[in-house]
């Protein structure tokens, strides 16, 4: 099989209706989508990505009323976020109804749902009677794709169609928020800033690495990793690596005496930096270098999501 890349929504619907998969664009990253109510389609998603069944999927749809039909109760804070942020880079983890197959949620009583902000995909979703289960469209543990070509490069031989929606506007995965005993908890830092969430619903709790129960589904530390070794270090320490061919990722500064240097935002804009991060990792992974070194980003706004992804990419 070799995937076609195009904008044929009708063809996507045909494929999805017969439990096939299509890659879809969103504002965060491209997703590998299948009918979220069909166990066979969902099983295909896990197989195609080579993803373990204990890592739950996110359901995508185009309206809050559709979401209400497959979750039990929406806490007040979740309603506020849904109204203010959706369509947008936020996934809410809510109590699921029985209509959602257990394979989607890895047996958890909760399900992640979101309305993505991408017109092509919203049009597709509006024409479907079921939600689309869609993890990022990358092989398990590799970097998420932010363009149709990225999807093609890695899953092109396992898919028949990639719906092209251009480059992703945000470029890192959605922020994931759920509730435990009524308390809002952020499970994954992502494209929606924590500051923005806290403006709307007050203080939220960030689940730190040590609090993660390693046996809990979806809480894998290693993720988003390039094939090459990646180290986080300060630019002042570059001398340490003189013996090696280094590919460098910096926020604003171009450094000459390394093999390759990716500057994520010369104008010091964390959104722009987040948007360039995964493509920079992919490009450096293809260079003739021994090591990727990345500097730490400011721990604010999308800088937190960037640091989180760099940290995960550095864990081996």
Question: Does position 26 bind ligand TXA by CB under 6 A?
Answer: yes
Exposure of 96 in the CB half-sphere (CA atoms within 13 A): 23
Count of residues that interact with ligand TXA, criterion CB under 6 A:
26
- Least CB distance from residue 219 to Mg ion, whole Å? 13
- Least CB distance from residue 79 to Mg ion, whole Å? 27
Task: Choose among Mg ion, ligand TXA, none what residue 112 binds, the Cβ cut-off being 5 to 8 Å by kind.
Answer: ligand TXA
Question: In which residue are the tokens 């604010």 written?
Answer: 300
Question: Does position 112 bind ligand TXA by CB under 6 A?
Answer: yes
- Least CB distance from residue 117 to ligand TXA, whole Å? 10
Written as six digits, the tokens of 172 are 């890192």
Binding mask 82-111 for ligand TXA (x = CB under 6 A): ---------x-x-----------x--x-xx
Q: How far apart are CA 24 and CA 85, in angstroms?
A: 20
Task: Choose among Mg ion, ligand TXA, none what residue 309 binds, the Cβ cut-off being 5 to 8 Å by kind.
Answer: none
One-character DSSP codes across 215-265 = TSTT--S--S--SS-EEE--GGGGGGGTTS-EEEEESS---SSSSEEEES-
Binding mask 264-283 for ligand TXA (x = CB under 6 A): --------------------
136 vs 174, which CB is nearer to Mg ion? 136
Question: Does position 132 bind ligand TXA by CB under 6 A?
Answer: no
- Least CB distance from residue 148 to ligand TXA, whole Å? 13
Helix (H, G, I), strand (E, B), or coil: what is residue 35?
A: strand
Residue 169, C-beta contacts closer than 8 angstroms, at least 6 positions apart: 27, 117, 275
- Least CB distance from residue 216 to ligand TXA, whole Å? 8
Say if CB 202 and CB 62 are below 8 A apart: no
90 vs 289, which CB is nearer to ligand TXA? 90
Binding mask 159-198 for ligand TXA (x = CB under 6 A): --------------xx-x-x--------xx----------
Give the closest residue to 116 by CA, choosing from 3, 27, 228, 223. Answer: 27
Task: Choose among ligand TXA, Mg ion, none what residue 175 binds, the Cβ cut-off being 5 to 8 Å by kind.
Answer: none
Judged by CB under 6 A, the chain residues 207 through 246 that form the site for ligand TXA are 218
Cis peptide before 58 (omega within 30 of 0): no
Exposure of 275 in the CB half-sphere (CA atoms within 13 A): 13
Reported residue count of the chain is 316
């Amino acid at each position: 099989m070799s995937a076609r890349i195009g904008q044929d929504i009708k063809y996507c619907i045909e494929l999805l209706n017969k439990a096939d998969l299509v890659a879809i664009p969103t504002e965060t990253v491209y997703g590998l989508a299948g009918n979220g109510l069909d166990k066979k389609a969902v099983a295909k998603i896990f197989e195609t990505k080579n993803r373990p069944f204990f890592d739950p999927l996110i359901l995508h749809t185009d309206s809050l009323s559709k979401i209400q039909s497959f979750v039990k109760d929406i806490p007040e804070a979740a309603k506020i976020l849904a109204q203010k942020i959706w369509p947008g880079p936020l996934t809410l983890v809510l109590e699921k109804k029985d209509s959602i197959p257990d394979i989607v949620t890895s047996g958890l009583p909760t399900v992640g749902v979101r309305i993505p902000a991408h017109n092509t995909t919203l049009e597709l979703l509006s024409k479907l009677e079921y939600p689309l289960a869609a993890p990022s469209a990358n092989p398990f543990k590799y970097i998420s794709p932010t363009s149709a070509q990225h999807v093609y490069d890695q899953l092109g031989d396992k898919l028949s169609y990639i719906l092209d929606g251009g480059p992703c506007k945000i470029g890192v995965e959605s922020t994931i928020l759920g509730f435990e005993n009524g308390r809002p908890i952020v499970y994954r830092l992502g494209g929606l800033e924590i500051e923005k969430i806290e403006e709307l619903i007050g203080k939220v709790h960030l689940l730190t690495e040590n609090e993660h129960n390693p046996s809990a589904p979806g809480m894998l530390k290693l993720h988003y990793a390039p094939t090459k070794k990646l180290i986080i270090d300060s630019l002042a320490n570059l001398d340490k690596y003189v013996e090696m061919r280094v590919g460098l990722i910096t926020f604003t500064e171009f450094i000459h005496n390394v093999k390759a240097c990716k500057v994520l935002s010369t104008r010091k804009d964390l959104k722009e930096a987040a948007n360039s991060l995964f493509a920079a990792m992919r490009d450096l992974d293809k260079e003739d270098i021994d090591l990727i070194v990345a500097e730490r980003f400011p721990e604010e706004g999308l800088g937190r999501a960037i640091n989180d992804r760099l940290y995960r990419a550095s864990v081996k």
